[in-house]
């Protein structure tokens, strides 16, 4: 009997040690501080342009369910999960992978990695830092998804033996990072305990995850953008569903967010009540059973759904991508008799144009660059004065 007690105690101590290690995870010095200076803002014009071109924003869910059979004569694929198949924003994966636009996400990710070469992240405000990490994560996620396309089910890609979430392919200020490092060890640890809505900023390529936005996150409005994502997610079938009035079902994505809640079920339920619309919020409050089991791992490719897009798609910038992709291998012709109109656009030229701002001007306006220069000079002066003081102290 004693050996079983010892064994149980050993297991308990091991679990406690792992939990303690997670609780006491220390951010690297380069990521741990922040500035109160809100004059220094980061530009994401290139990422804005690329997302606007490749993301179809479908708006809030109306909780519609997919019919059991696909429409005849459509390229749209059927989903096993009828409750959630018609939800989430879409990305033009198929068309992007055919064009040179796929390189745009890699270029922007590399550009974001080099931002600390211009200014320390600790010299940015907390809001600017949060926007930076979310944009880096989502850009890197899209880059990985594009490189693995075509893939229909993302579960093994995210959580299998060769998980892209665990791959350390991102380098920031000399630190090798994975997507999980950014989500769990940086954003959740530094921002999440005070603002749990940061969890809605992580797109993971599938219908069951928070939305990819058709714009980059901005320090000036990052929490407003996150709140929008949270409201859309909670008030959708892939976020929360009520069955039989006494059972609440929530997304398995929330399993990744447990570190944000001291009492997971109690605190998550309170959060969902706050974000859910009536009468769902009341049902969540009084439901007797709380199940974390809604999932849909299907990729958010435009052609991976059966949702009717209607005329709205034709006016979306993504329609331009669809129109030009067939001509992406041909240069734009000039002179008499040359092709005209958007179908003649060369996607290589378009991709270069999108990233030109980053390549030529960096992520800061001339005014902000001048402030950064002054800040760096001030830090250098302060550093020099400290060294002189140390020398004087040693002489004494």
The burial of 322, by beta-carbon neighbours within 10 Å (0-12 exposed, 13-18 middle, 19 or more buried), is given as: middle
- Greater confidence (79 vs 54) lies with 54
3-state secondary structure of 309: coil
DSSP notation for 192-260: ITT-GGGGGG---SBTTSPPPPSS---TTTHHHHHHHHHHHHHTSTTTEEEETTTEEEEEGGGGGGGGG
pLDDT tens by residue, 86-125: 999 999 999 899 888 889 999 999 999 999 999 999 999 9
Handedness of CA 161, 204, 180, 259 (dihedral sign): negative
Give the pLDDT score at 20. 38
Per-residue model confidence (pLDDT) at position 213: 98
> What's the CA gap between 302 and 267, in Å, rounded?
35
Segment 335-372, tens digit of pLDDT:
333 332 223 234 455 555 555 555 444 788 887 788 77
Residues 178/194, Cβ–Cβ less than 8 Å? no
Higher local confidence (pLDDT), 101 or 135: 135
Structure tokens at 73: 């004569």
Q: What are phi and psi of 248, to 5 degrees?
A: -110, 130
Average pLDDT score over residue span 243-269: 94
Alpha-helical runs (H) found in the chain: 2-23, 29-32, 45-54, 93-98, 102-113, 126-148, 155-159, 179-180, 222-234, 264-275, 280-286, 312-315, 317-324, 347-361, 366-395
Task: Please count the CA atoms within 13 angstroms of the CA of 250 that sit on its side-chain side.
Answer: 26
pLDDT at residue number 365:
80
The answer to whether residues 184 and 259 touch, using CB atoms and an 8 Å cutoff, is yes
Q: Which residue has the tokens 């990490």?
A: 133
Of 15-24, 58-67, 104-113, 334-343, where does the model show the most confidence? 104-113
User: Is residue 67 predicted with pLDDT exceeding 90?
Assistant: no
Which residues share a beta bridge with 172?
A: 175
State what percent of residues in the chain have pLDDT above 70. 71
From CA 296, how far away is CA 206, in angstroms rounded? 7
Q: Tell me what the pLDDT averaged over the chain comes to.
A: 79
The pLDDT, as a whole number, for residue 388 is 34
pTM exceeds 0.85 = no
Spatial CA neighbour of 194 closest among 147, 156, 226, 154: 226
On the 0-12 / 13-18 / 19+ scale of CB atoms within 10 A, 153 is: middle
């Amino acid at each position: 009997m004693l050996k079983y007690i010892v064994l149980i105690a050993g297991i308990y101590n091991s679990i406690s040690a792992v939990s303690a290690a997670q609780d006491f995870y220390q951010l690297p010095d380069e990521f741990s501080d922040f500035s109160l200076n809100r004059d220094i803002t980061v530009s994401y014009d290139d990422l804005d342009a690329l997302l606007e071109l490749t993301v179809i924003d479908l708006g809030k869910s109306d909780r519609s369910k997919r019919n059991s059979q696909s429409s005849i004569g459509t390229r749209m694929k059927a989903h096993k999960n009828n409750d959630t198949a018609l939800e989430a924003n879409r990305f033009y994966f198929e068309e992007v992978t055919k064009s040179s636009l796929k390189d745009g996400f890699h270029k922007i990710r590399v550009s974001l990695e080099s931002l600390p070469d211009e200014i320390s992240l600790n010299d940015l405000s907390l809001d600017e830092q949060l926007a930076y990490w979310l944009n880096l994560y989502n850009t890197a996620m899209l880059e990985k998804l594009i490189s693995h396309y075509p893939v229909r089910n993302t579960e093994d890609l995210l959580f299998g033996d060769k998980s892209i979430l665990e791959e350390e392919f991102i380098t920031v200020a000399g630190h090798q990072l994975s997507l999980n490092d950014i989500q769990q060890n940086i954003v959740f640890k530094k921002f999440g305990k005070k603002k749990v809505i940061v969890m809605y900023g992580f797109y993971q390529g599938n219908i069951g995850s928070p939305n990819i936005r058709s714009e980059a996150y901005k320090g000036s409005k990052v929490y407003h953008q996150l709140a929008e994502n949270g409201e859309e997610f909670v008030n959708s079938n892939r976020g929360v569903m009520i069955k039989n009035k006494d059972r609440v079902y929530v997304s398995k994505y929330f399993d990744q967010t447990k570190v944000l809640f001291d009492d997971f079920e109690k605190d998550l339920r309170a959060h969902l009540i706050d974000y859910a619309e009536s009468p769902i919020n009341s049902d969540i409050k009084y439901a007797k059973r709380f199940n974390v089991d809604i999932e849909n791992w299907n990729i958010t490719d435009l052609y991976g759904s059966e949702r009717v897009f209607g005329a709205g798609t034709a006016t979306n910038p993504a329609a331009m991508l669809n129109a030009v992709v067939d001509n992406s291998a041909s240069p734009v012709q000039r002179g008499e008799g040359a092709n005209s109109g958007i179908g003649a656009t060369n996607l290589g030229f378009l991709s270069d144009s999108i990233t030109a701002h980053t390549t030529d001007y960096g992520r800061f306006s001339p005014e902000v660059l001048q402030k950064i220069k002054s800040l760096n000079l001030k830090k250098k002066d302060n550093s020099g004065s400290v060294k002189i003081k140390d020398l004087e102290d040693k002489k004494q």
